[in-house]
Amino acid sequence: MMDPGQKKTVLRMIPYGLYVLTAAAPDGRMAAATINWITHASFEPPLVVVCVKSESFIHALIEETRAFALNILGKGKASRAFTFFKPSTRDGQTLRGDPFRIGGSGAPLLESTPAFLECNLVDSLKRGDHTIFAGEVVNAGIGVPIQGRPDEATLWLRDLGEKIFYGG
């Protein structure tokens, strides 16, 4: 039998970056959520995989529109991660106070993030309480010059503090 405490500890040993996943419908409905279960899955075609809670509003929008954007949170932007842990609301050209523009995929691209990827949904797999969405990268952009290693510019879950974990 698996020890639940050991399982939690081992799962928490997997390092995670933090991202704001966004999606929007043509009628103006939008969603944004902080996520960290993502990975680069293929070079050709360029694919990323994101895991999204099945009952979330953003999950429904991604299934409906078959597109999403991954806004990469930068170091020093922990408050933005916490902001998008809550349901997002649109107020004019902001989502929870964060200015955005609409990308070619139709998904919001947050102006405060150092980089983004836009993806078209190519496949999905529903298991457990999350769905694995595979998206083909159709656009990528850098908002501010990246100094040093690109992965060092990414906000990591550990940057939120010693007591903050996602799942496990």
Residue 117: give the domain boundaries. 18-143
Range 84-93 average pLDDT: 84
Which two three-digit tokens encode residue 73? 């949170």
**b or e along 100-126 (b: 16 or more beta carbons within 10 Å of the residue's beta carbon)?**
beebebbbbbbebbbbbbbbebeebee
Select from 55, 111, 102 the least CA-distant residue to 80: 111
What's this model's pTM, rounded to 2 decimal places?
A: 0.91
Please report whether residue 12 resides in a domain: no
pLDDT in tens, 145-166: 888 888 888 988 888 877 766 6
Please report whether residue 5 resides in a domain: no
Please report whether residue 164 resides in a domain: no
Please report whether residue 167 resides in a domain: no
Tally of structural domains, the chain: 1
CATH of the domain at 102: 2.30.110.10
pLDDT in tens, 93-138: 999 889 999 999 999 999 999 999 999 999 999 999 999 999 999 9
